[in-house]
Amino acid sequence: MSASKKTAIITGANAGIGFQAALKLAEKDTRILMACRSVEKAKQARRDLLAQVPGAEVEILPLDVSELSSIKEFVARFSEQVETLDILINNAGIVTPNLSRNSQGYELHLATNYLGAFALTGMLLPYFRKGSPTRIVNVCSLAHRFGKFDFDDPNWNNTTYNNWKAYARSKIATAGFTMELNRRLQQSGSNVIALSAHPGFAATDMGRKTGATTPKTAFAQWYQGKMEAWIVAKPEQAAEPIIYAASAEGIGGGDYYGPTGLFEIKGKTGKARLNPLARDIDFGKRLWAISESLTGARYLSDL
């Protein structure tokens, strides 16, 4: 591998937006590490990618981002195989209708969409290439704008569970984490920047495979069958803000990108609307503290 070639880790790169990001970055001559929980699915995705970008450097490293033990194993394997990292895209995500938990008892939206990204980022930070611009892109969602973070009960142990509120919670955490991470990176004098992007609404399998978006009424069935494809973006279009955040020149830490069409559902990539809570310094500090405590991953602390 040439030393000048960039290396990107993309979590959940076997499907949907993560796959499109892998494809487009491979086209830009970036070495791709697909961090996926299903090696079989990742192998098929790798074949599909290579069919479109012959000669691309694409490797698979197993990762279940909802489990801390898997994150530790992933980072250990990564550090044996690769010297430096230029881009980390924390993309893996779920939406699921039922209350589910990881092996530590953490609610699964929080564990997968947020806590895993927090821990993975901290463990990978020492491997970012020194002396050149490098970046961490966290994949957010329009849902973050409605998200509330309950510091007393982040894992829905004592609160009536609602899956969409849980999803939104994981995404306001993602947004707040990105801003706080970028502040801490700046304060530490790091050359790494952190920013986020959201895809709008995309016709991926995310809600379908868990049944979270299975239509319950005749109208919803008609909408999903006929209207959805017309209203929402295809995965390749939805991935554009994420690819832009990961690869465009001249963008800054703390930026937030998304589609600029009606309600940010789809359209040309530009700056997107961030929930002001995500920029709140007290929120960021509290979120950092609780994330360190829940994951045991301590980094950029005492800043």
Ligand X SMILES: NC(=O)c1ccc[n+]([C@@H]2O[C@H](COP(=O)([O-])OP(=O)(O)OC[C@H]3O[C@@H](n4cnc5c(N)ncnc54)[C@H](OP(=O)(O)O)[C@@H]3O)[C@@H](O)[C@H]2O)c1
Question: Which residue from 74, 78, 201, 256 is in contact with ligand X, where contact means CB under 6 A?
Answer: 201
Our finding on whether 41 is near ligand X (CB under 6 A) is yes
DSSP 3-state of 270? strand
CA distances from 123 to 68, 74, 76, 82, 232 (A): 11, 10, 9, 14, 35
Question: Which residue from 8, 16, 78, 121 is in contact with ligand X, where contact means CB under 6 A?
Answer: 16
CA distance 101 to 15: 23
Tokens representing 246 are: 């990961």
Our finding on whether 15 is near ligand X (CB under 6 A) is yes
Name beta bridge partners: 90: 138
CA distance 111 to 248: 29
Our finding on whether 147 is near ligand X (CB under 6 A) is no
Closest CB to ligand X among 64 and 190? 64
Pick the stretch among 24-32, 182-190, 203-211, 288-296 that binds ligand X (CB under 6 A).
203-211
Our finding on whether 91 is near ligand X (CB under 6 A) is yes
Tokens representing 136 are: 């961490």
Asked if residue 140 lies in contact with residue 89, where contact means CB atoms within 8 angstroms, the answer is: no
Question: Which residue from 204, 237, 275, 291 is in contact with ligand X, where contact means CB under 6 A?
Answer: 204
Judge whether 223 counts as a catalytic residue: no
Q: Which of residues 117-146 bind ligand X (CB under 6 A)?
A: 139, 141
Q: Which residues bind ligand X (CB under 6 A)?
A: 11-12, 14-18, 36-38, 41, 63-66, 91-94, 112-113, 139, 141, 198-199, 201-202, 204-206
